[in-house]
Amino acid sequence: MSMRIGYGFDSHAFKAGVPLVIGGLVIEHSEGLAGHSDGDVLLHAITDALLGAVSAGDIGTFFPPSDPRWKGAASSVFLQTALEEVATAGYKIVNIDTVLVMAQPKIVPIAGELRERVAELLGVKPGEVGIKAKTPEGLGLDHVAMAHCTVLLESLHAPEALEHMVATADAGSEEELNAVVEGLIGSRRDISALGRKVTPFDTDDLT
């Protein structure tokens, strides 16, 4: 089965006077995250992981900070674009895993809610989303929020191995064809699934 992985990272500094938005949730806290958009560090990391998994560039490629259209934008817009890129490339999400790194606020009490919100935005089940949290011990970065994300995708189309076997059947000898058929459907010699027609009799009988 054709699978791809992606990895994303992002960081934003805390800033007074703006709401804290993480994973599409507005979280009660004394400060928010500075950024051209809503500063949603988690959705930015997930967006980059998705884009990276299909080699479609990164969030800055699609939404440059210099573009005034994205000032204060909800980061779910970025995520939606990444999901469209994944679908266009012919893939769907198997699961994602994330790590949030920040001193405050504590993520554990809201991890379940975050997981459900992120799953909803991604169109997957909550059981396909991992939300983990760390404090930046020893990094001296208590004023910063960081997020890491890995994503696994699988092909929406026929597995590559099957395509390979069909291609072999189209070009190969009878022995190869037999091996392909047995690989596909066991010992039954029904090759209709391959879209290839064979004569119903032994051509040697014609001579």
115 contributes a contact to Mg ion by CB under 5 A: no
- Quick one: angle between helices 76-88 and 111-122, nearest 10? 50
HEC string of 125-186?
CHHHEEEEEECCCCCCCCCEEEEEEEEEEEECCCCHHHHHHHHHHHHCCHHHHHHHHHHHHC
Q: Which one among 6, 8, 10, 48 touches Mg ion, defined by CB under 5 A?
A: 10
Stretch of 8-16, 80-88, 167-175, 183-191 lying at the interface with Mg ion (CB under 5 A): 8-16
Closest contact distance (angstroms) between CB of 75 and Mg ion is 8
Give the largest Cα separation in the chain, rounded.
91
What is the torsion angle, in degrees rounded to the nearest 10, for the CA atoms of residue 19, residue 24, residue 26 and residue 32? -30
CA 173 to chain centre: 40
CB of 87 to Mg ion, least distance (A): 23
Q: Give the pair of three-digit tokens for residue 179.
A: 């091996």
- In whole angstroms, how close is the CB of 167 to Mg ion at the nearest point? 43
Is residue 73 helix, strand or coil?
coil
Closer Cβ to Mg ion, 10 or 85, answer by number: 10
Residue nearest to Mg ion (CB): 44
Per rule CB under 5 A, count of chain residues that contact Mg ion = 2
- Of the two residues 68 and 109, which places its CB atom closer to Mg ion in the complex? 68
**Which C-beta is closer to Mg ion: that of 60 or that of 183?**
60
Is residue 3 within 8 A of residue 151, CB to CB? The reply is no
Instruction: Identify which range of 38-46, 77-85, 88-96, 169-177 contacts Mg ion by CB under 5 A.
Output: 38-46
Part in contact with Mg ion (CB under 5 A); list of ranges 10-18, 99-107, 144-152, 198-206: 10-18
If one asks whether residue 44 binds Mg ion (CB under 5 A), the answer comes out as yes
How far apart are the C-alpha atoms of 26 and 23, rounded to whole Å?
Answer: 8
- Stretch near Mg ion under the rule CB under 5 A, chosen from 44-52, 83-91, 93-101, 152-160: 44-52
Contacting residues toward Mg ion, per CB under 5 A: 10, 44
